[in-house]
Amino acid sequence: MSVVGVDAGGTLTKIVYKENGRLHFKTFSSEQQENVLQWLTLLAKHHKLYITGGKAEKWGETFPQAHIVGEFIAVCSGAKLLLKEEKSDLKQFILINIGTGTSIFKVDENGCERLLGSGLGGGTFMGLGGLLTGESDYYELVRLSKEGKRELVDLSVRDVYEAMNSPVPEHLTASNFAKGDSSSKKEDKLRALTNMIAETIILLASQASQAHKLEHFVFIGSTLKSNPALKEDLTQFQELLSYTPIFPEKGAYAGSLGAFEIGREAEHSQNRQ
Asked if 20 and 144 sit in the same domain, the reply is no
**Is the pLDDT at 163 greater than 70, yes or no?**
no
Asked if 116 and 143 sit in the same domain, the reply is yes
Crossing angle of helices 138-147 and 186-212, rounded to 10°: 90
Q: How many C-beta atoms surround the C-beta of residue 42 within 10 A?
A: 9
Per-residue pLDDT tens over the stretch 127-137: 999 999 999 99
Asked if 209 and 127 sit in the same domain, the reply is yes
Asked if 100 and 191 sit in the same domain, the reply is yes
Asked if 263 and 230 sit in the same domain, the reply is no
Place 272 in a pLDDT band, splitting at 50, 70 and 90: low
Q: Give the CA distances from residue 62 to residues 37, 44, 133, 216, 267, in Å, rounded to whole numbers and listed in that order.
A: 8, 11, 36, 40, 21
Asked if 6 and 118 sit in the same domain, the reply is no
Q: What is the C-alpha separation between 26 and 194, in angstroms, rounded?
A: 25
Beta strands in the chain, from DSSP E residues, in sequence order: 2-8, 12-19, 22-29, 47-52, 67-68, 93-98, 102-108, 111-118, 155-156, 173-175, 216-220, 244-246
| Mean pLDDT (whole number) for 137-151 | 95
| Mean pLDDT (whole number) for 190-196 | 98
* Single-letter amino acid code for the residue at 156: S
Residues near 131 by beta carbon (within 8 Å), at least 6 away in sequence: none
Letter string b/e over residues 167-196, b meaning 16 or more CB atoms within 10 A of that residue's CB:
eeeeeebbebbebbeeebbbbbbbbbbbbb
Asked if 203 and 105 sit in the same domain, the reply is yes
Asked if 184 and 217 sit in the same domain, the reply is yes
What's the pLDDT score for residue 186?
Answer: 97
Place 188 in a pLDDT band, splitting at 50, 70 and 90: very high
For residue 64, give the CATH number of its domain.
3.30.420.40
Asked if 143 and 237 sit in the same domain, the reply is yes
What residues are labeled active site? 71
Per-residue pLDDT tens over the stretch 95-131: 999 998 999 999 999 999 999 999 999 999 999 999 9
Crossing angle of helices 254-272 and 71-85, rounded to 10°: 90
Asked if 167 and 51 sit in the same domain, the reply is no
Domain of residue 58: give its range.
2-82+254-272
When divided into structural domains, the chain yields a total of 2
Asked if 63 and 127 sit in the same domain, the reply is no
What is the torsional sign of CA 262, 104, 95, 189?
positive
| DSSP helix/strand/coil, 137 | coil
Q: Give 266 or 221, the one with higher predicted confidence.
A: 221
Asked if 33 and 100 sit in the same domain, the reply is no
| Mean pLDDT (whole number) for 246-273 | 88
* Single-letter amino acid code for the residue at 252: A
